[in-house]
């Protein structure tokens, strides 16, 4: 008897919480934007990364967001900066800075293999700071830092960058509201 009362009051509590999040939910941040433009990320002089890293991650972000947009109909167009943008569309601009570009090393791989389950982790990493800007007003709408690592057999910075691009695509999908 006590258990059934507890379960029924717990379910009522869950229903109340669920209902309030629907009522007090806010509009997604990127709602209303038709075009996504990805700018090459900046590679500062004190970041140990090749100058091409900014262009490489921008291409990966375009690819990953197009994958998600195909599935969830996020944007009318997703382009890298420099490509033609359809006129009369509201544009969301993504810029950023490369923060980390760590090459894989044998020493880290050996060290991680000594930890139980550590052989499944990679030794390379990629991190970037991203900003989402309304192109019309120039106002920064959202900022985030993302760091991705490689995994065991895919221990390359390219794979870490691919994972970083996918993580950004997931954030865009979340805040687009689809």
- pLDDT per position as a tens digit, 111-138: 656 767 655 566 789 999 999 999 999 9
> What residue spans define the domains of the chain?
28-176
Let me know how long the chain is.
178
Three-state DSSP class for residue 100: strand
CB of 175 closer than 8 Å to CB of 29: yes
Contact residues for 48 (Cβ-Cβ < 8 A; gap 6+): 101
pLDDT, one tens digit for every residue, the chain (178 residues): 677 776 666 666 666 655 544 444 567 899 999 999 999 999 999 999 999 999 999 999 999 999 999 999 999 999 999 999 989 999 999 999 999 998 877 666 666 567 676 555 667 899 999 999 999 999 999 999 999 988 877 888 999 999 999 999 999 999 998 6
Q: Does domain 28-176 have CATH number 3.40.50?
A: yes
Q: Is the pTM of this model over 0.85?
A: no
Q: Say which DSSP state 118 is in.
A: G
């Amino acid at each position: 008897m006590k258990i059934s009362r507890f379960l029924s009051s717990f379910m009522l509590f869950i229903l109340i919480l669920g209902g309030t999040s629907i009522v007090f939910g806010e509009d997604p941040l990127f709602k209303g934007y038709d075009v996504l433009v990805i700018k090459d990320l900046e590679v500062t002089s004190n970041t140990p990364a090749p100058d091409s890293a900014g262009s490489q991650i921008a291409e990966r972000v375009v690819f990953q967001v197009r994958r998600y947009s195909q599935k969830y109909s996020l944007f009318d167009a997703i382009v890298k900066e420099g490509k033609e943008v359809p006129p009369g569309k509201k544009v969301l601009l993504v810029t950023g800075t490369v923060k980390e570009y760590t090459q894989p090393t044998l020493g880290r791989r050996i060290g991680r293999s000594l930890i139980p389950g550590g052989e499944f982790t990679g030794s390379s990493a990629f991190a970037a700071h991203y900003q989402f800007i309304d192109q019309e007003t120039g106002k920064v709408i959202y900022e985030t830092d993302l760091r991705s690592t490689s995994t065991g057999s895919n221990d390359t910075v390219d794979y870490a960058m691919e994972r970083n691009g996918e993580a950004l695509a997931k954030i865009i999908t979340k805040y687009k509201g689809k």
